[in-house]
């Protein structure tokens, strides 16, 4: 199974659902539709309406983050995994570099992952090295740390997806070489097999994926799909990624 996950970030108002309606109509008729899943993570403000609309349809809705406490609390502006699940989300991203850069710690991320799983959300756990870490040849040690400090074998493996997003690639138009990406994906899967004592969860790539480069990635069979930011805000661009991947 492949995954095409669209991360809208700070984008969207109720009417923006028209973008997803177009993607859903392509997806419903696509001859390759049984080979992949489409998940979109709009901002919190749209999760309830979009989940209700797409219930029983092809697209699945998720959240972009969740708070590290569950249920209700006195933390202003926080949204718990329980609250996200209650409005119909089935997935949540955790550890996106935008949020890590605002101070998310490993301890917070561990709580987010375990509470999201407790609420039966599938977690898309984001990892990735920064530009300077790459330059200093620390990519593998950074990824290993991000995986081992947050995931462990008690976690429901079938409810975890890992998204490898090099920070220097997000929104920059730059992508890793095929060779680097293959090596890194294999390395991530090796670490995950060690953590889970068995088969690795799905590992996605994210960072400047678009309709022009998605075909390049299909040669790397180890990549189980994509986390797509900028290009997920346009139905045409998002559909082109899927079309060109399967061409
Ligand atoms: C992202 O923010 O997760 C992302 C991959 O963004 P972009 O596709 O725009 O690089």
Residue 129 designated active-site? no
Cα–Cα dist 56/170, whole Å: 32
- The pLDDT of residue 140 is 98
The predicted-structure confidence for 36-93, as pLDDT tens digits, reads as follows 999 999 999 999 999 999 999 999 999 999 999 999 999 999 999 999 999 999 999 9
| Residue 209, ligand 1, Cβ within 6 A | yes
Which domains are assigned to the chain? 2-246 (3.20.20.70)
H helix intervals, 137-177: 139-148
Cα–Cα dist 48/84, whole Å: 9
Q: What is the 8-class DSSP label of residue 35?
A: G
| Residue 241, ligand 1, Cβ within 6 A | no
What end-to-end distance do the CA atoms of the chain give, in Å? 17
Percent residues over pLDDT 90 in the chain = 98
Task: Please name the helix (run of DSSP H) or strand (run of DSSP E) that holds residue 226, with its range, or none.
Answer: strand 225-228
Cα–Cα dist 62/159, whole Å: 13
Residues 6+ apart with CB under 8 A from 240: 210, 211, 214
The predicted-structure confidence for 193-214, as pLDDT tens digits, reads as follows 999 999 999 999 999 999 999 9
Residue 165 designated active-site? yes
């Amino acid at each position: 199974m492949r995954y095409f996950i669209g991360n809208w970030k700070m984008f969207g108002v109720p009417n923006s659902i028209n973008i997803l309606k177009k993607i859903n109509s392509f997806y419903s008729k696509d001859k390759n539709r049984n080979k992949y899943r489409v998940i979109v993570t709009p901002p919190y403000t749209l999760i309830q309406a979009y989940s209700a609309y797409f219930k029983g349809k092809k697209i699945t809705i998720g959240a972009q983050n969740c708070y590290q406490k569950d249920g209700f609390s006195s933390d202003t502006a926080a949204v718990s995994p329980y609250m996200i699940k209650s409005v119909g989300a089935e997935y949540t991203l955790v550890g996106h570099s935008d949020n890590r850069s605002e101070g998310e710690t490993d301890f917070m991320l561990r709580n987010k992952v375990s509470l999201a799983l407790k609420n039966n959300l599938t977690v898309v756990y984001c990892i990735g090295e920064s530009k300077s870490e790459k330059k200093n040849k620390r990519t593998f040690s950074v990824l290993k740390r991000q995986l081992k400090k947050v995931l462990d074998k008690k976690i429901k493996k079938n409810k975890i997806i890992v998204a490898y997003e090099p920070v220097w690639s997000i929104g920059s138009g730059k992508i890793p070489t095929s060779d680097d990406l293959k090596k890194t994906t294999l390395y991530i899967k090796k670490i995950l097999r060690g953590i889970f004592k068995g088969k690795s969860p799905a590992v996605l790539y994210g960072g400047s994926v678009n309709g022009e480069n998605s075909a390049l990635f299909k040669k790397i069979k180890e990549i189980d799909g994509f986390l797509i930011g900028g290009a997920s805000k346009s139905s045409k661009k998002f559909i082109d990624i899927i079309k060109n991947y399967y061409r």
